[in-house]
Structure 1
Amino acid sequence: MSTAQRVSHPVVVTGMGVKSPAGNTVADAYETVLSGKPQAVHLPELLDSGLSVAIGCPVPELGADRYFSKAERRRLDRASQLGIAAAVDAVTDAGPDFAGDAARSGVYVGSGGLSLATAVLLAGERPPVYTIPMIMPSATAAHISIRYGLRGPALTFAAACASGAVAIGEAVRAIRAGHLDRAVAGGVDALLTPFFVHAFDRLGALSRRTATPAEASRPFDAERDGFVMGEGAAFLTLERADVAERRGARVHGEITGYALTSDAADIVSPRPDGALVARAMTDALADAGLGPADIGHVNAHGSAAPAGDRAEAAALRAVFDGAGPPITALKGVTGYLLGAGGAFEAVMALLSARDGLAPPVANFTGGADAEGLDIVAGAPRALPVAPALSCSIGFGGHNAALVLSPRLG
Structure 2
Amino acid sequence: MKKHFLFLFFVVMLLLPYFSVHATEKYRTEAEHSIAVEATTGKILYEQEATTPTSIGSITNLLTIYLVYEAIEQGKLTLDTPVPISDYAYNLTITSPVTNIPLDKRSYPVQELIYASLIASANSATIALAEQVAGSEATFVDLMKEKLTSWGISDATILNSTGLSKDMLEDKQTSEEKEPIENRLSAIDVAIIARHLILDYPQVLKVTSQSHFSMNGTTYYGTNPMLKGGIYERSGLDGLKTASGTSMVATSLENGMRVITVVLHTKEGDLYPEKRFLETTNLMNYAYQYFTWTPIVEAGQAYQDSKVRVFNGKKSTIPAVAKQDLMVAKRNRYKKETTAKTNGLDTVLDAPLSKGTVLGTLTLNDTDLIGHGYIDEQPSIELVAAKDTATANWPFSWWNHFVRYVNEKL
Query: Above 0.5 in TM-score?
Result: no
Query: Per chain length, whose mean CA-contact separation is higher, i.e. which structure has more relative contact order (CA < 8 Å, sep 6+)?
Result: 1
TM superposition score normalised by structure 2: 0.27
Name whichever structure is richer in strand by fraction. Answer: 2
Name whichever structure is richer in helix by fraction. Answer: 1
TM superposition score normalised by structure 1: 0.27
